[in-house]
Amino acid sequence: MAALQQDHGAKQAAAGGGAGEPKGKRAARSAGVDAGEDGGGSRSKKKGRGSSAPAAAPAPVSAHPESAASSSLEDVTVEDTDFLDCGVCFLPLKRPIFQCDVGHVVCSPCCEKLKAMGKCHLCGVASSTYRRCHAMEQLVGSIRVPCPHAVHGCAARPAYHDRENHRLVCVHAPCHCPGEACSFVGSTDALLDHFIEVHNWPCLTNVTANDRDEYAVLLQDGFNFLLANCHTGNKKQGATTSIQCLLLVTVVRQPYAHIISAHCIDPHAHAAATSDSQRPPSKEMQCLLWYEESLHASNLRRSSQLISHAHFQTSKFRIACTNLSNGLPRPDDCFQFVVPNSVIGEHDKDGIKLTVRIIIK
């Protein structure tokens, strides 16, 4: 802690006591590195009181890293995170980092903009050139923070400047339970356990697909959950990757038909919907559902059965991804697969057997 404070104080002294730095911005910042969740959307500048560094940080914070033994400091608190952010765009600093002649640091994109102005944005001192600040690059690279989803089981400690990028792909990002009046929030694994132990909903987690990536499933009335390994890419050319997807398939029995809808429970769906250009694009998913039933009539002369009626229907539609933070999507806002009751076989009275295929682009 003393090393960080001395380093920060030395930089302020070198910069003339931080002359020209906005005081309102400094007053609004809290005394630690935020260990809580940003809550989605764009990065917030509001910080909470900090978290302690773990016993095994990737790099030490030392005034002389070249001579210090590889170790970590316990209970280190960053009391002012302003110096970890660019003074122009207010985004976390990451290498390459540049400084003016006085010592005020900016990120690389903002440095290019300031070169055209010919002076520093804080001190106003004319600066014809900005120099690399290697000491600052080492410092920001050594500061590690907890994942925003640590409360949901993530043990990763990304660099401060990489915290937002990690949050966007973290497998422990939470989803919400679709149950009415149920407030459970957890990772995908925790959500599946919750569905089985609390609600006793059908969860198909060990279904094996055939060579065409098709799943034969028996769906009950209400919520059904299917954990499927879906392939992307060209399978014929062998260039495929596997993505595990959690599908919510809802069956509603009406007097005239069974109405079936499908959604993908994706913890990053809300972030993708409200994202800027820096966020990864959301995967596009399509679902292929088909149902078939053959009705037989006995042939008494030949002691065999003849097919008297056959029904086959299939639909291909886009699946909406949701983390269920706003509840279930309205039925009118999603595709509905309608199977008439008149064609459902006797063995499907207590459930309906469908073949499901997921296509990811």
Give the pLDDT of residue 30. 34
pTM: 0.65
pLDDT at 287 over 80: yes
Instruction: Note the pLDDT tens digit of each residue in 71-90.
Output: 566 667 777 778 899 989 99
> In the predicted model, what is the mean pLDDT of residues 47-65?
36
- If you average pLDDT over every residue of the chain, what do you get? 74
Whether the predicted pLDDT of 252 surpasses 70? yes
Question: What was the pLDDT predicted at 147?
Answer: 92
Domains along the sequence of the chain with CATH:
2-168 (3.30.40.10), 175-360 (no CATH)
Confidence of residue 268 (pLDDT cuts 50, 70, 90): confident
Among 118-122, 182-186, 218-222, 308-312, where is mean pLDDT lowest?
308-312
Residue 254 phi, psi (nearest 5): -110, 165
pLDDT at 271: 60
CA neighbor of 158 nearest in space, from 110, 108, 94: 94
pLDDT for the residue 18 = 39
More confident residue, 246 or 345: 246
- At residue 190, does pLDDT exceed 50? yes
Digit-coded pLDDT (tens) for 199-244: 999 998 877 788 888 888 999 999 999 998 877 755 555 556 778 8
Pair 226, 215: CB distance under 8 Å: yes
- Residue 74 has a pLDDT of 66
